[in-house]
Amino acid sequence: MSEVLAATVAGWVEEFITDMRRRGYSERSWRNYRYDLLQLVAWLRQQPELRTPGDLTATALEQYQMHLMLRRSLKYKYSQPRTMTAGSRNRHLAELRSFFRYLKKAGKILSNPSLELDRARETKRLPKAILTIPEVARLLQAIPKITATGLRDLAAVELLYGSGIRRRELLQLQLADLRLSEELVHVVGKGDRERVVPIGKAAYKALERYLREGRPQLVKGDHRFVWVSCFHGGPVSDRELLRCIREHARRAGIKKSIGFHLFRHSCATHLLRGGADLRSIQTLLGHSDLSSTAIYTRIEISDLRKTMLRCHPREKDLPDPA
C-alpha cells in the first residue's frame, strides 16, 4: 500500500510544480522543489505502515526529517552520514510547508501537518573571507579593457562590488532595468522584492562603455539581457561569467576562492569600515531583516580582536605586575 500512497504524492508533486510554474517561479526554484519533494516520495515507498494521505501526520514527517539527517550523501555515496545543517533542514521544512499548504488549499488533505514541525535554530555564519581593497584594485587592473569580453567582465565586477547585488539579481538584469543617467539599477531580489540600487561612478563608467562597445560585439538575436555570452551571444550563464572572473583573479595573484557572494560581502564590509550605518547597508543589500546585515558588525569585532592581540601592550610578552 505504500506504493499507492507514494504514487499519489508523486502526482501531487507534479501538480504543485505546475502551479509554481503558473505563478511565475523561476526554473531553478521549481526544479529544486521538485528534486527535494521527490525524495519524500522515494522515502514513502519504503514505509509500509503509511498507506493513505491521512497517515501523513506530523510524526511521519518528523521521521522523514530524521531520515534526511542520517542518510548518506547523495553526491558522495561512500561518505559517512553527516548531520544536516540547520539551514538545509529549514529549507526542506519550508518546501514541505509550501507543498502541504497547496494540498490543503486544493482540498486533497484536511490539515497541514508540517505546521507542527519546528524550525531548526540557525547560527549566522561569518563569511569565510573578503577581498581587501588592494585585492579589488588588482583584480580590476587585471581585467583587459580592449576586448568585448573584458569590458563585460569589468562592468560585472564593478557592479557586483559597487552595489553588493546578488548573483541572481546580476544575471537577470535587462536593459530596461538600467537607469544609467541617474546611476541607478532596478533589481528583483529574494521573494520577488524589488528595489532600486545606486551603482556609483566607477560602475556607471564601466557599464556605459560595455553597453556602447562590448555588448554589440557579443549579442546575437534581439534579447534584452545585459550580460551576453561570448560563445553563443545569448544571456551569459553564471558558470561562464564566474569562470572568466576567476581567471582574471588568478592573473592578479589573488589566492582566495572567488564567488559572486564574495563581492557582496566585500562591498558590505568595506562600507561599514568606511562609516556607513547598518540601515543603509540593509537597504542596499535588500535584507528584509536587520539581523542579516548585523553579521558584518561581527566581522568588524573579529578584526578588532585580531588588532588588539597584535597591538595591545597587555597582549604582548610583558611581565605581570607584582
261 classed as catalytic:
yes
251 classed as catalytic:
no
Cβ-based neighbours of 178, under 8 Å, separated by 6 or more: 185, 186, 207, 211, 226
Cβ atoms of 241 and 227 within 8 Å: the answer is yes
190 classed as catalytic:
yes
Domains of the chain, start order: 2-116 (1.10.150.130), 133-308 (1.10.443.10)
287 classed as catalytic:
yes
Tell me, what's the pLDDT at 281?
78
Q: How many residues does the chain have?
A: 322
User: What gap in Å lies between CA 253 and CA 53, rounded to an integer?
Assistant: 58
Active-site hit among 190, 224, 305, 312: 190
Mind listing the pLDDT tens digit for each residue in 96-132? 999 999 999 999 998 899 888 877 766 555 556 789 9
User: What gap in Å lies between CA 228 and CA 147, rounded to an integer?
Assistant: 13
Cβ-based neighbours of 39, under 8 Å, separated by 6 or more: 68
Tell me, what's the pLDDT at 45?
92
Tell me, what's the pLDDT at 7?
92
Tell me, what's the pLDDT at 202?
92
Mind listing the pLDDT tens digit for each residue in 281-296? 778 887 766 566 666 5
296 classed as catalytic:
yes
Active-site hit among 215, 248, 264, 270: 264
Helix boundaries (H) for the chain: 2-22, 27-44, 58-70, 86-105, 133-142, 148-163, 167-171, 200-209, 215-218, 238-251, 260-273, 278-285, 290-293, 295-311
Cβ-based neighbours of 304, under 8 Å, separated by 6 or more: none
For strands 194-198 and 178-179, give the pairing.
Answer: unpaired
Tell me, what's the pLDDT at 320?
47
Tell me, what's the pLDDT at 78?
45
User: What gap in Å lies between CA 218 and CA 234, rounded to an integer?
Assistant: 8
Residue 310: is it exposed, middle or buried by C-beta count within 10 angstroms (0-12/13-18/19+)?
exposed
Active-site hit among 92, 152, 248, 287: 287
Active-site hit among 152, 166, 215, 270: 166
- In the sheet with 178-179, reading across from the earlier edge strand, the strands are 178-179, 184-188, 194-198
Positions in the chain short of pLDDT 70: 1, 71-83, 121-128, 288-322
33 classed as catalytic:
no
Active-site hit among 261, 273, 279, 298: 261
